[in-house]
């Protein structure tokens, strides 16, 4: 079992930045960030594996978001820059022992409770 707790969400204006954090009860090598807007399916944002040496991003966030992992503290981060209104969603971190690097939410086993990000125009 892995418990995940996200923090760092909030409200910003277009072009602003936020950093999300996710503390895991134990180190997990295959983790990701996902988001879900009202009425929409959950979508993958970024994933990290191979001890943080490999990352994968959704096209919609490439060049704006950066996923990283502090192995020593079992903390996952998502640095978000140049935020847009379409980034507004509840953001979740997740972990899995298989399909590392996937952005398919169905391949992840453990989930946090989510943190809200709202970007206003």
Q: What is the pLDDT of residues 41-89, one digit of tens each?
A: 999 999 999 777 899 999 999 999 999 988 676 899 999 999 999 999 9
What pLDDT shows up at residue 62? 98
Is the model more confident about 77 or about 28? 77
pLDDT in tens, 95-109: 998 889 999 999 999
Q: pLDDT grade, residue 28 (50/70/90)?
A: confident
Residues 6 or more apart whose CB falls under 8 angstroms from that of 115 comprise: 6, 7, 8, 9, 20, 90, 91, 92
What pLDDT shows up at residue 119? 98
What pLDDT shows up at residue 71? 67
**Cβ distance 81 to 113 under 8 Å?**
no
Mean pLDDT of 11-26: 96
Residue 57, helix vs strand vs coil: strand
What pLDDT shows up at residue 109? 95
What pLDDT shows up at residue 70? 85
Q: CA 69, CA 76: separation in Å to the nearest integer?
A: 4
């Amino acid at each position: 079992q892995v418990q995940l707790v996200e923090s760092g969400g909030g409200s910003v204006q277009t072009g602003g930045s936020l950093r999300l954090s996710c503390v895991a009860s134990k180190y997990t090598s295959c983790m990701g960030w996902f988001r879900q807007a009202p009425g929409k399916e959950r979508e993958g944002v970024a994933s990290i594996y191979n001890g943080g040496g490999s990352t994968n991003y959704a096209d919609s966030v490439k060049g704006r978001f950066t996923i990283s992992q502090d192995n020593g503290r079992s903390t996952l981060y998502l640095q978000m820059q140049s935020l847009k209104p379409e980034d507004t969603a509840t953001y979740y971190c997740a972990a899995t022992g298989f399909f590392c690097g996937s952005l398919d939410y169905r391949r992840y086993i453990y989930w946090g409770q989510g943190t809200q990000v709202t970007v206003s125009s």
